[in-house]
A = this chain, B = another copy of it.
Amino acid sequence: MPRRVTIDDVARLAEVHKATVSRALNAQTRDQVNAETLKRVKRAARQLGYVPNAMARGLRTSKSMTIGVIIPDLMNPIFPPIIRGIEHVLQAQGYTVLIANTDSHDEVEVSAFESLLQRRVDGFILATGRLDDQPVVEEAATADVPVVLVNRDSGVGRYPLVSGDNARGIELAVTHLVELGHPRIIHVAGPPNFSTTRTRAEAFEAAATRAGVEHDTIYATALSTDAGFEAAEKLLSDNGVAPSALVAGNDLVALGLIRRLRVQGLRCPDEVSVVGFNDMPFAGDFWPPLTTVRMPLREIGAEAARLLLRGIEAGEQEAATLTLPVSLVVRGSTGPFRS
A residues contacting B by CB (< 8 A) are 1-2, 4, 49, 51-56, 58-59, 62, 64, 66, 74-75, 77, 80-81, 83-84, 87, 91, 96-101, 103, 108, 111-112, 114-120, 142-144, 225, 255, 259, 281-282, 285-289, 315
Contact = CB atoms under 8 A, between A and B. Distances in A.
B49 A53 contact: no
- A contacts with B: majority SS: mixed
7 contacts: A4-B62, A51-B114, A96-B119, A97-B98, A225-B285, A282-B286, A287-B287
Contacts of A118: 51-54
A98 B101 contact: no
Q: 6 smallest A-B Cβ distances: which pairs?
A: A287-B287, A54-B118, A55-B55, A55-B58, A74-B80, A54-B119
A116 B51 CA distance: 10
Contacts of A108: 91
B119 A101 contact: no
A94 to B, nearest CB: 8
A200 to B, nearest CB: 23
A42 to B, nearest CB: 15
Given A51-B118, A97-B98, A255-B285, 17 more contacts: A2-B144, A4-B62, A4-B120, A51-B117, A55-B56, A55-B64, A55-B120, A74-B80, A74-B83, A75-B84, A77-B77, A96-B100, A96-B116, A97-B100, A98-B98, A259-B285, A287-B289
Given A53-B120, A282-B282, A144 B1 contact: yes
A49 B143 contact: yes
**Most chain B beta-carbon neighbours within 10 Å: one of A51, A119, A315:** A119
A315 to B, nearest CB: 7
Contacts of A51: 114, 117-118, 143
Contacts of A285: 225, 255, 259, 286-287
Contacts of A84: 74-75, 101, 103
Contacts of A52: 118
Contact of A286 (B120, B259, B287): B287
Contacts of A66: 119
A55 B59 contact: yes
A55 B2 CA distance: 21
Query: Which of A55, A99, A116, A315 gathers the greatest number of chain B CB atoms within 10 Å?
Result: A55
Nearest to A69: B99
A254 B220 CA distance: 32
Nearest to A332: B287
B87 A101 contact: yes
Contacts of A87: 100-101
Nearest to A94: B115
Contacts of A99: 97-99
Contacts of A120: 4, 53-55
